């Protein structure tokens, strides 16, 4: 039994200390692993989709979903835009945004009173 435990510990140690050889160069396995934050960012879906800009203010935009039922009422959301907000798609800056732009919005921090946009993607 002691031999088995020794063999297990020794093998585990060797596997943990080994290096991967890539293109004739030694590189640590951790260097070849994909960046988890990049993967999460790529898979993150927009917090607001199928919405349009109702109004543009100095530091924020008011967005609303499209009215599909004439008898229903639809909420409007105030989204704050700052220097950290990325504007992508058909427009590249807050100055270029226009009312009635079809957009998608990613919120920087959920659960806070002031909704700050991480990214605004202008579809059309």
Mean pLDDT of all residues in 69-94: 95
Contact (CB, 8 A) for 76 and 62? yes
Token digits for 29? 């396995």
What b/e string do you get for 79-106 counting C-beta neighbours within 10 Å, with b at 16 or more? bebeeebebeeebeebeebeeebbbbbb
Same domain, 29 and 80: no
Residue 9's pLDDT band (boundaries 50, 70, 90)? low
Using CA atoms, how far apart are residues 107 and 124, in angstroms rounded to an integer?
Answer: 20
Give domain status of residue 39, yes or no.
Answer: no
Residue numbers of the domain that contains 22: 2-33
pLDDT of residue 112: 79
Same domain, 110 and 54: yes
Strands 115-122 and 86-89: parallel
Give domain status of residue 21, yes or no.
Answer: yes
Same domain, 95 and 117: yes
pLDDT of residue 13: 60
Closest CA to 82 of 92, 90, 94, 91: 94
Mean per-residue pLDDT of the chain: 80
What b/e string do you get for 22-56 counting C-beta neighbours within 10 Å, with b at 16 or more? eeeeeeeeeeeeeeeeeeeeeeeebbbeebbbeee
Give domain status of residue 38, yes or no.
Answer: no
Count how many domains the chain has: 2
Residue 17's pLDDT band (boundaries 50, 70, 90)? low
Over residues 49-59, the pLDDT tens digits come to 999 999 999 99
Predicted TM-score (pTM) of this structure: 0.64
């Amino acid at each position: 039994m002691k031999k088995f435990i020794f063999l297990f510990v020794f093998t585990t140690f060797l596997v943990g200390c080994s290096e991967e050889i890539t293109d004739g160069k030694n590189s640590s396995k951790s260097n070849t692993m994909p960046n988890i934050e990049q993967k999460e960012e790529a898979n993150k879906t927009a917090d607001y989709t199928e919405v349009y800009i109702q109004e543009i203010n100095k530091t924020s935009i008011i967005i609303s979903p499209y009215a599909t039922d004439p008898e229903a009422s639809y909420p409007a959301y105030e989204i704050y835009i700052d220097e950290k907000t990325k504007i992508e798609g058909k427009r590249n800056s807050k100055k270029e945004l226009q009312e009635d732009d079809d957009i998608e919005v990613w919120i920087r921090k959920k659960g806070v009173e002031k909704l700050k946009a991480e990214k605004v993607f202008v579809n059309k």
